Structure 1
Amino acid sequence: MLKEAQTRLREATRVAVLTGAGISAPSGIPTFRDPGGLWKEFRIEDYATPEAYARDPERVWAWYAWRYRKIQAARPNRAHELLARLEAEKGEGFVLVTQNIDGLHQRAGSRRVIELHGNIARARCEWCDARVPLPPPEAFTPPPTCPRCTSRMRPDVVWFGEFLPEKALAAAERAFAEAEVALVIGTSAAVEPAASLGRYARWSGAYLIEINPEPTPLTPLAHCALRMGAVEGLEALLAPPAEDQPEGDLPKP
């Protein structure tokens, strides 16, 4: 199973990747629903909905400023770096779709990135919809003010109860529908509509690879399901062919 997945990925010219919180966990960024995840300690209703922001924008901004500091202090891990390398190899045939808001893919060198849920390092104007990067954490005092119209700005992230950006979702769906190989990494495959991207690829004829420590609703559809963390799984998947390895050595990425 792994050998076939390696071959399929190596030979593919169109590759689509979906990443979730699990890929950033080795960088020290908590996942959401796992033991010790954010939603075990904080209530979604208090920090990640439009209603929470309407009730208490200062509280929500303080929470996002805290997360922003934590995320900016984190560093991309080996899994982020391996996907950046895969993009360099595949060129324009590669698309990376992420549910994460941490920007670690871009900091690792990825450029063909679609952010479905926004980016914690940006703010969006409540009035004119302008988007601007936040200042460095040490210089940031929330809430920011729009440089265009002076209105208050909100975090440029998608909250529960909000729609995903139409253009980003359409581009993601197109990439997975056209992919020869699709990778789904570190996501529970439970949050729609992102959870359906792997299904689109499978139904369109792609070879589907899942990397996740636990089974998910997508697992039964996967041609290859690696019960590993993101780093271990990508290292295994991207190892060179055995014939390229010195005799007696284990495959290495």
Structure 2
Amino acid sequence: MITDEIKKLIDTAAEKIHGAGHVVALVGAGMSAESGIPTYRGSGGIWTKIGEPDPRSFQNFMNDPKLWWERMLNPDLVNEESPERAKFTKALAEAKPNPGHFALVELEKMDKLDTIITQNVDGLHRIAGNNNVAEIHGNRNYYRCLDCSSRFLRDEFTIIDIPPKCPNCQGMIKGDGVMFGEPIPSDVLARCITATQNCDAMLVLGTSGTVYPAASFPTEAYMNGAYIVEINPERTPISDIVTTQITGATGDILPLLVEKIREMG
């Protein structure tokens, strides 16, 4: 329910975003949850049900990339081992952008959004139509070379050998999703840090504020004097430092916020 108090907060946030020069959106799993994708942690989270991945996942991949690829190319085997994981994978594959995603597309078209930093691997921002997206945890629809960081759409990449080699440098290819124990790709991390340091307003959307390094970005922006607005159904560790905290779903609040900004011209 959009109360009068929430409407006032939306008006305040719209005025600040409209007047800002460089706006960044930090997006977490809550926005994807509104598209039907289960969260990782918390009640009903996939890791709550099946346990968190091995913290050595990346090292295990490096030790035996052929085994990882054989399992990845045989999803029926993996699904039989874990029905809950199968449900999660199905939800990822079937998810569509929601009104929150499309509101960010409109904000970008209005030149009121410089960069989206998303912690989600579903690729829904790109599917919705956003162009300036930094996917700090990768994108499930891509492969990535560990040597030159080239990225390839899965549907357009032909696998001949296992493990496959990068056509550009012959380096090792893996899924673009960042594994436990794997460093954030340096090009993506640098982009996120630069966007955070340069912004004078940040939208914090559907994130728990507990997964680093992304959880540090709002605090860094705040310390640099940026206006911070958080949109989340619940308070988070970030709530204590934000300028404006709006309680609600991003799919409900963002379209109203964007409409207010549009009215300001």
Scaled by the length of structure 1, the TM-score of the pair is 0.81
> CA separation in 1, counterparts of 2:50 and 2:140?
17
For 2:180, what is the secondary structure of its paired residue? coil
Counterpart position of 2:94: 73
Question: What does 1:218-237 align with in structure 2 at a 5 Å threshold?
Answer: 218-237=238-257
The structure 2 residue matched to 1:146, chosen from 156, 165, 176, is: 165
For 1:86, what is the secondary structure of its paired residue? helix
1:77 aligned partner, one-letter code: N
CA RMSD of aligned residues (A): 3.1
The structure 2 residue matched to 1:180, chosen from 186, 190, 200, is: 200
Question: 1:128 Cα shift?
Answer: 6.9
For 1:44, what is the secondary structure of its paired residue? coil
The structure 1 residue matched to 2:44, chosen from 25, 28, 36, is: 36
> CA separation in 1, counterparts of 2:120 and 2:256?
23
Counterpart position of 1:16: 24
Counterpart position of 2:14: 6
2:216 aligned partner, one-letter code: S
Q: Is 1:131 equivalent to 2:147 in the alignment?
A: no
Counterpart position of 2:230: 210
1:97·1:114 contact (CA, 8 Å) conserved in 2?
A: yes
TM-superposition CA deviations, 1:9-35 (whole Å, max 9, x none) = 122231011101111112111111131
What stretches of structure 2 of length at least 5 have no aligned partner? 1-8, 80-84
Counterpart position of 1:82: 103
2:145·2:166 contact (CA, 8 Å) conserved in 1?
A: no
2:99·2:252 contact (CA, 8 Å) conserved in 1?
A: no
For 2:15, what is the secondary structure of its paired residue? helix
For 1:85, what is the secondary structure of its paired residue? helix
TM-superposition CA deviations, 1:217-247 (whole Å, max 9, x none) = 1100011111211112213433427xx6xxx
Q: Which has the higher contact order (CA 8 A, sep 6+)?
A: 2
> CA separation in 1, counterparts of 2:177 and 2:55?
12
> CA separation in 2, counterparts of 1:112 and 1:125?
21
> CA separation in 2, counterparts of 1:10 and 1:79?
18
1:124·1:154 contact (CA, 8 Å) conserved in 2?
A: yes
For 1:118, what is the secondary structure of its paired residue? coil
> CA separation in 2, counterparts of 1:9 and 1:142?
49
Task: Write out the 4+ residue segments of structure 1 that deviate beyond 6 Å after TM superposition.
Answer: 139-144, 149-152
Between Structure 1 and Structure 2, how many residues are aligned? Answer: 239
The structure 2 residue matched to 1:25, chosen from 33, 46, 55, is: 33
TM-superposition CA deviations, 1:97-145 (whole Å, max 9, x none) = 1111111001111001111111111123467765322128xx9999673
For the structure 1 residues 169 and 147, does the alpha-carbon distance in structure 2 shift closer, same or farther, using more than 3 Å as the test?
A: closer
> CA separation in 2, counterparts of 1:142 and 1:230?
43
Q: Is 1:191 equivalent to 2:199 in the alignment?
A: no
The structure 2 residue matched to 1:166, chosen from 162, 186, 191, is: 186
For 2:179, what is the secondary structure of its paired residue? coil
> CA separation in 2, counterparts of 1:163 and 1:22?
24
Taking only the aligned residue pairs, the percentage that are identical comes to: 33
For the structure 1 residues 142 and 99, does the alpha-carbon distance in structure 2 shift closer, same or farther, using more than 3 Å as the test?
A: farther
The structure 2 residue matched to 1:95, chosen from 106, 115, 118, is: 115
